[in-house]
Amino acid sequence: WVKVNVDGSWLDQSRIMGVGGVIRDAVGRWKGGFARSFEDGDSLRGEILAIAEGLSFYWDAGFRNIICESDCIGAVKVVQGPSLKK
């Protein structure tokens, strides 16, 4: 298992978003990181893109057992999709 911590940011006036993340193994050792910028967005989109970029980056790197953490519950809910519970 590896853990990915991601975060997104957004500059209101320029509408530019930045996303980044780090990955650590089960004992906390650094395994890698990423950073990227995007244009024309907002704060929620930046957070969602951080999750998507993080999962995609580490999946492509060969990691299959991934725990992803974000500080934005709104983005997590969007990525998880609608609940099937009633």
pLDDT (tens digit, 9 = 90+) per residue, 38-62?
Answer: 998 999 999 999 999 999 988 998 9
Low-confidence ranges of the chain (pLDDT < 50): none
Tokens of 28: 């906390």
> Could you give the number of structural domains in the chain?
1
What is the domain extent for residue 10?
Answer: 2-80
pLDDT at 35: 96
User: What is the C-alpha separation between 58 and 2, in angstroms, rounded?
Assistant: 9
Residue 64 placed within a domain: yes
- Confirm if 56 and 21 have CB atoms less than 8 A apart: no
Residue 10's CATH number: 3.30.420.10
Residue 51 placed within a domain: yes
Of all residues in the chain, the percent with pLDDT exceeding 90 is 71
Residue 86 placed within a domain: no
What are the phi and psi torsion angles at 42 (to 5°)?
-145, 180
